[in-house]
Amino acid sequence: MSPAPATAAIPGYLAGTWKADPAHCRISFSLRFLTLGTERGRFTDCDATIVTREEPQRSALTATIDVASIDTGNEKRDTHLRSADYLDAENHPTMSYRSTGIHPSGDGWTVDGDLTLHGVTRQVPLAVEVNGFGPGASGAQQAAFFATADIDRRDFGITARTDGGGVLVGYKVSISLVIQAVLQK
């Protein structure tokens, strides 16, 4: 008996080109701060396209994020994070992600891909859950995804420290993405 096709495990799965709906997307991050607590933030401006194929493993994802759209709820901190000490938004205004492969993993999927941040490109896998496919409130076909990844900011040349040499902001950055996308005609 041959295994069921991967699409059978994704109710309502549709092949097509999907654009992220900015009103229903959240790209957030968290990291240690002063080794005392966790700081959280998000990026408010992103553009993502997901192309689902009949065979999900052949699907693709591209995304671009405006790093100046960082929002931690503290404008002074946001300004510092946009500076050359961290994201250097003036010289590196966007970060981007481009998938290079997709495969089933446990109860979900792993999207392998290249993240370009701060002018440096590194491979970063995303652990992805497909939340579903179906008609949204407007009647348009929508797809919803949740993804997570961890990166080390030093891998991207972001190495800022305090004047005393201690770490002000942790090196490990946990990223989560909640993406709702609309099927394009």
Q: What are the tens digits of pLDDT across the range 82-115?
A: 999 889 999 999 999 999 999 999 889 999 999 9
User: pLDDT tens digits, residue range 24-45?
Assistant: 999 999 987 766 788 899 999 9
pTM for the predicted model, two decimal places? 0.89
28-63 CB burial, b ≥16 within 10 A, e <16: ebbbbbeeeeebebbbebbebebebeeebeebbbeb
Most confidently predicted of 4-13, 136-145, 154-163: 136-145
**Tokens linked to 153:** 């900011």
Higher-confidence residue: 152 or 185? 152
pLDDT at 166 over 80: no
Architecture per CATH, 6-183: Beta Barrel (2.40)
The mean pLDDT of the chain is 89
Question: Exposure of 174 by Cβ count < 10 A (0-12 exposed, 13-18 middle, 19+ buried)?
Answer: middle
**Helices marked H in the chain — which ranges?**
75-82
- Check residue 37 and give its pLDDT: 80
Give the type of residue at 25.
C
Spatial contact of 51 and 60, defined as CB atoms under 8 Å apart:
yes
- Check residue 35 and give its pLDDT: 62
For tokens 């609309």, name the residue: 182
- Check residue 34 and give its pLDDT: 65
